[in-house]
Structure 1
Amino acid sequence: MLQELKTVPPPRVLLNLSDVRYIDSSGIASLIEGLKASRDVGARFSLCNLNQTVREVMQLSRLVKIFEIYDTEELALAE
């Protein structure tokens, strides 16, 4: 994904995390790296469909203030 962002920057990156049941520090670091790379090329970076466990990790690490997070993919695409 990071290489594609540099090659052909899209206007927006939306990651649907519905299949992610657990996230650790390396997963968080990857999300932050994707956010930074998106910002570097002027693309929006959003997350959607976080399960309760992943959402709690994001809240505890205060990343909910940094990422655009949507409950569903439909809501994210409507923005």
Structure 2
Amino acid sequence: MKIETKEVNDIVIFELDGEVDLETSPTLRKNLLKHVNVGKSVIVGMNGVAYIDSSGIASLVEAYQTSRRNSSGFVLAAISDSAMRVLQLARLDKVFTIQATIDDAVRSLNS
């Protein structure tokens, strides 16, 4: 998995590419928590995610819960079909805020 990170108007945007699995999810978890623990809003772009397993989902859920406690935003955006199927199976598509594009996610956090 490759993680590209950028910051726009105090929002940290992560763009994921590849497989989010038991081997790579600890890196994702560490990166996400580093930002949500200090109250930054986070967008996770998932267009390039070819595969995500339960450890990857757990990393997203933990970061989401932490962001809620810190009253910061957490949005998933541009989710690949395979990743969306996993989120839907776990019914997490009803829990996470999901936007079609990263630009839409930025707009939703700025409004």
Following superposition, the deviation at residue 17 of structure 1 comes to: 1.2
Normalized per residue, which structure has more helix? Answer: 1
The gaps in structure 2 that reach 5 residues or longer are 1-31
| 1:25 maps to 2:51 | no
Q: TM-score, normalised by structure 1?
A: 0.88
Aligned-residue identity in percent: 38
Moved over 2 A (4+): 3-6
The gaps in structure 1 that reach 5 residues or longer are none
Q: What RMSD, in angstroms, separates the aligned Cα atoms of the two structures?
A: 1.2
| 1:9 maps to 2:39 | yes
Partner of 1:76: 105
Q: TM-score, normalised by structure 2?
A: 0.64
Normalized per residue, which structure has more strand? Answer: 2
